[in-house]
Structure 1
């Protein structure tokens, strides 16, 4: 697999970028990863990087985006934080990745059985974690379909909150970043949310979160 160059990155459209990620995850699920010379890629990217995607995911040790999307060095910007939440530093990193470095798609990726989501469902308070989990709380309150056992013992509730959290983050990116919103408007980038099943390895994208040209 060739290392991405500036010319190769420029030729990738946002729609193509999503297809590349989907194809990579299919390879991962089927244990058919592409053979890469990572040392060679390290050498070839030493003077510059041209990733095609930014992926905001959880710090969970089972959700390494380079692995689950079968990507190499220099292919993706990986932003990892518990509960795949959003803050100013992450937004700034996304703006850099798209506006300066040329990435074509932003993916907000949640995952099943997320510890941060469970903590928010249980209203855990512990040191600095309290402030982090407070950013997930709105998703807990937005989940209205489950009326009983609204805690981490209820797997259905946890997964529904996780999905809402991803979708809220997708829209928050647009609301809080005029730069990224403008880039969507000009067709330079797209944003979409998804979920990684840690049992099967499969990533499912929430097609209703796909934002193209400010159409949603």
Structure 2
């Protein structure tokens, strides 16, 4: 049972590699339906006056992707930023910079997922209110996929959607590095790693890209 929250001292001993390994081991427990139990009351009390998360995870808002559970993490373990289509923007970049440069997190993880509704909408060129501008962040990934897979370039083509999901994660990582000098320098110095993967709705497995 987890009854000890991360402290600044414990966080300081972590490395980007060890944090990634921890998350992936947690995903294995999730797949095996063997999640770690937590003493919630104790963890709440310990984290009331401070937090020292090991990673910041950028995920889609999809209700089928419960980020902390997917990696078997508990209170105080990870920052989670969520937006439909798991892309970066100024607010999320600032949140990531805070997570790593101020709060000490060691890993930035961009988590896409299978059959993403936002990705499908971008593949179909959906236009509706503010959704139109939001999907513009994903469109480059769809355009790239249209040159990489055969068949129709819309959501009726599972291979096209899957490739767009992968491309969207990869392009998001590229843009994080391009748009955040802070995170780029931290990665160059080995203080953090910026990585990505895709979650399977069918199996629960996170596959690294």
TM-score scaled to structure 2, two decimals?
A: 0.97
Distance in 2 of aligned mates of 1:34 and 1:154: 38
Matching residue of 1:17: 19
1:121-156, CA deviations, whole angstroms, 9 ceiling, x for partnerless residues? 000000000000011001111111224311111111
Matching residue of 2:138: 136
Matching residue of 2:48: 46
- Report the Cα offset of residue 38 of structure 1: 1.4
Matching residue of 2:6: 4
Distance in 2 of aligned mates of 1:189 and 1:100: 13
Distance in 2 of aligned mates of 1:147 and 1:126: 28
Matching residue of 2:186: 183
- Report the Cα offset of residue 104 of structure 1: 0.1
Distance in 2 of aligned mates of 1:147 and 1:15: 36
- SS of the residue corresponding to residue 83 of structure 1 reads coil
- SS of the residue corresponding to residue 97 of structure 2 reads helix
* Correspondence 1:6-85 to 2 at 5 A: 6-85=8-87
1:38-88, CA deviations, whole angstroms, 9 ceiling, x for partnerless residues? 121111100000000000000000111101001000000000000001100
Q: What is the Cα-based RMSD across aligned positions, in Å? A: 0.7
* Correspondence 1:67-106 to 2 at 5 A: 67-106=69-108
Distance in 1 of aligned mates of 2:34 and 2:10: 23
Runs of 5+ in structure 2 lacking a partner?
Answer: none
1:19-48, CA deviations, whole angstroms, 9 ceiling, x for partnerless residues? 000010000000111111112111110000
**Poorly superposed stretches of 4+, deviation over 3 Å:** none
Matching residue of 1:160: 163
- Report the Cα offset of residue 165 of structure 1: 0.4
Runs of 5+ in structure 1 lacking a partner?
Answer: 207-216
Distance in 1 of aligned mates of 2:138 and 2:197: 16
Residues paired across the two proteins, number: 206
- SS of the residue corresponding to residue 158 of structure 1 reads helix
Distance in 1 of aligned mates of 2:20 and 2:101: 18
Matched, 1:148 2:151: yes
TM-score scaled to structure 1, two decimals?
A: 0.94
